[in-house]
Structure 1
Amino acid sequence: MSIYAKLTQLSITLPPVAAPAAAYVPFVKTGKLVFLSGHLAKKDGKVWVGQFGKNISTEDGKAAARAIAIDLIGTLHAAVGDLNRIKRIVKLMSLVNSTGDFTEQHLVTNGASELFGEIFGDKGAHARSAFGVAQIPLGACVEIELIAEVE
């Protein structure tokens, strides 16, 4: 099944690439790799603000990470033109806005990881880092960046 058929089956519509909020570009291609800049969690079109361990649950965080994954896939589509050309999702790096005693960053990040597996199958299995941080730009609860390999 093509990636686009899978997206349709899951009722996912890819968003357009968001304009950068500072001095960077949304993606960089070099050789067979595509590096996507960090994407912030959004809810209802606005930055999804919150800090884990204080005012947002792990389950809400999984939903935020899943929403970021959809935005990342939209940017990846813009970068490569055809998602069926993706050979592998290589790595995700997730920054989770957390209090010092919150320890479920990996579970929050699963929201994105699971969606990449669902959409890309074996090509979606990736290396990953999930960090707890004291703050993310604009107070976002999660930020995720991605590296992919193109055929």
Structure 2
Amino acid sequence: MSCYEKLQALGISLPAVATPAAAYVMYAQTGNTVFLSGHIAKKDGQVWVGQLGRDMQTEEGKQAARAVAIDLLATLQAACGGDLTRVARIVKLTSLVNSTSEFTEHHLVTNGASELLAEVFGEAGKHARAAFGVAQLPLGSCVEIEMIVEIR
């Protein structure tokens, strides 16, 4: 099953590619490696505001991370000239979770993105990653994730 068939089976339609909110580009490519800028969580087209451990719990944060992964896939598709079948491997995710100092389940929040990428790309979607808790993210977003991808 192709990545597009998997997306369809999951009921996922990729959104329009986001535009940069500051002085950066959404992705940069060197050789066969694409670096995707951090994407913040959105819900119903708006910034998904919240802090894990204060007004959000792990499961909602996981849903937010999954939403970020969908936006990352839209940007990745643009980086691949409109063809996600060019993805050779998702190499690494870096996840920033807006959280209280007591919250310790950043890794479980980030699973929302990691699990989706593995569903869509199979073995090629399994990646290295880091998940951090931070005191605040741009616009009050609950999660921000960046991604490194090898393409063909």
Which residue in 2 is equivalent to 1:148? Answer: 149
SS at match of 1:102: coil
Q: Which amino acid aligns with 1:74?
A: A
For residues 115 and 23 of structure 1, what CA distance do their matches in structure 2 show? 29
Moved over 4 A (4+): none
Distance in 2 between the 1:53 and 1:11 partners? 30
Residues 10-29 of structure 1 aligned to structure 2 (within 5 Å): 10-29=10-29
Is structure 2 residue 61 aligned with structure 1 residue 61?
yes
Output the CA distance in 2 between the equivalents of 1:141 and 1:63: 11
Q: 2:75 — aligned with what? A: 75
- Stretches of structure 1 that go unaligned for 5 or more consecutive residues are none
Residue aligning to 1:104: 105
Q: Secondary structure of 2:60's partner? A: helix
Offset, 1:33:
0.2
Q: CA deviation at 1:3?
A: 1.0
User: Partners in 2 of 1:149 and 1:41 — Cα distance?
Assistant: 23
Pair 1:2-2:7 in alignment = no
SS in 1 for 2:49: coil
Q: Which SS does the other structure have where 2:19 is aligned?
A: coil
**Could you report, residue by residue, the CA deviation over 1:57-89 in whole angstroms, capped at 9, with x for unpaired residues?**
100000000000000000000001211110000
Q: What secondary structure does 2:115 align onto?
A: helix
Where structure 2 has 5 or more consecutive residues not aligned to the other structure, the ranges are: none
* TM-score relative to the length of structure 2: 0.98
1:123 maps to which residue? 124
**Percent identity of paired positions between Structure 1 and Structure 2:** 68
Give the counterpart letter for 1:138 in structure 2.
L
1:6 Cα deviation from its structure 2 partner? 1.0
C-alpha deviation, 1:32, in angstroms: 0.6
Matched residue SS, 1:55: coil
| Code of the aligned partner of 2:70 | I
CA-based RMSD of the aligned residues comes to: 0.5
Where does residue 44 of structure 1 map in the other structure? 44
Q: CA deviation at 1:5?
A: 1.1
Count of residue correspondences:
151
TM alignment of 1:130-141, pairs within 5 A: 130-141=131-142
* Structure 1 counterpart of 2:11, one-letter code: S
Shift of 1:9: 1.0
Q: Give the letter aligned to residue 104 of structure 2.
A: T
